[in-house]
Amino acid sequence: MVNLDLFRDTSDENDSEPKSEPKSEPKSEPKSELEFSEITARLIEVGHAAIVGGLEWRGRLQVLKPYRNCNSLFSLRDRGGDLLQTLETAELCDLIRGLTLAERDLWYPRLHSNSPVQFFCMYLRDHHTREVVEPIVDWVYRETTNPYLPFGRSFGSDAGVHTYAEYLVFRASDRARLPRKLVAAYFETDFVVDLEDALCTVHAGKTVPDELTRFVEAKSATSWAIVSAYNPYSKELAPWENKRRHQRLKQALLNRRLQHYPAVGRSPDEAWEEPSFLVLGLSSGEARALGVDFEQNAVLFGRTEGYVEMLFCNP
């Protein structure tokens, strides 16, 4: 068993008791990855017990009470970053829950946990989709007493971000230098594609629909994009101008012998819509370049698995 005294915080112990030998200062870093693994395992147990039901997690949490100095370990800059990358999705979610509860019930307000770091660790791993990330973010937001969680200060409280949907919009608008309201509209848009014998609705940031995956694979492709030529850089044009631009896009796809199929982007209330094309076989760079050619702010891109990306094209 690992000696957890390495992490112990002795600041609250009675200094008046006789001491046979001087105590060393509590350490805020482990001596080995094994010790880090032990702390991580304890937090994962707490996080898992918290969602199973009952109050068992409270007893597991108390074991960690003397070891709040281990809080500083959970940073991607530390050696623990490599270990965190090896965790399964469920373990990483449980670790986030465990850190959130440890901070709230044991360490706060003297220390802030780095559960936002764990969230970014998960978010940056491309195979985690919105369906995976959104529930854990909502859980953290519901359970935490720290105003900086679950996104940290720069991406959270200072930006007025409190939900995963708001985070996606803020991050994208910051990178693309576009108004947040406009980017939010892109993420809310229903992209409906014609799969010849059925219609399929696609959303940015969510998992690629199974029916779209099967269709793309049946056409011997591994990637796809949804591109429009309407309303360059969100400047509304007359209907006849948009139709002419749409025909130009179609001709460009024919000239390049790219497989393409009808699609449309529309608002959830169907107050507006823009005809588009589902284009097969483009790389992400080629999809963005096509969007630039037709003066679009963004195009959708995806593969046969993973999540749907919003690629921004504005100069």
Looking at the fold, whether 107 and 82 belong to one and the same domain comes out as yes
> What's residue 58's pLDDT?
82
pLDDT at 171: 73
Q: Residue 300's domain spans which residues? A: 176-312
Cα–Cα distances (Å) from 248 to 74, 243, 254, 255, 303, in that order, read 53, 9, 10, 10, 26
Regarding whether 144 and 226 lie in a shared domain, the answer is no
Within this chain, do residues 98 and 216 fall inside the same structural domain, yes or no?
Answer: no
What gap in Å lies between CA 315 and CA 268, rounded to an integer? 28
In this predicted structure, what is the pLDDT of residue 133? 77
| Domain boundary residue, one of 129, 162, 195 | 162
Domains identified in the chain, total number: 2
d(CA 251, CA 30): 62
The pLDDT value recorded for residue 224 is: 97
Classify residue 186: in a domain, yes or no.
yes
Q: How many Å apart are CA 192 and CA 239, to the nearest integer?
A: 20
What percentage of residues in the chain have a pLDDT greater than 70?
A: 68
Provide the 10 A C-beta neighbour count for residue 238.
8
Q: Are residues 152 and 102 in the same domain?
A: yes
> Is the domain of 142 the same as that of 181?
no
Same domain, 188 and 261: yes
Out of 137, 162, 187, pick the residue that ends a domain. Answer: 162
Token pair belonging to 28: 């805020």
pLDDT of 11: 45
Residues 95, 154, single domain; the answer is yes
**Residues with Cβ within 8 Å of residue 128, at least 6 apart in sequence:** 89, 122
Count of alpha carbons within 13 angstroms of residue 278, beta-carbon side: 24
Q: What is residue 131's predicted lDDT score, i.e. its pLDDT?
A: 72
Residues 30 and 53 occupy one common structural domain: yes
Identity at 95, one-letter amino acid code: L
Within a domain: 97: yes
Q: Report the chain (315 residues): mean pLDDT per 10 consecutive residues.
A: 40 44 46 63 88 79 68 51 73 85 73 59 57 79 74 59 71 78 88 94 89 95 96 93 97 97 93 94 94 94 88 80
Residue 18 lies in a domain: no
* The pTM of the whole model exceeds 0.75: no
Q: Which of 115, 132, 162 is the last residue of a domain?
A: 162
Q: What backbone phi and psi angles, to 5 degrees, belong to 261?
A: -145, 150
191 with 139, same domain?
A: no
Which pLDDT score, from 0 to 100, does residue 17 have?
Answer: 45
83: closest CA among 127, 131, 118? 118
Whether residue 197 is found in the same domain as residue 287? yes
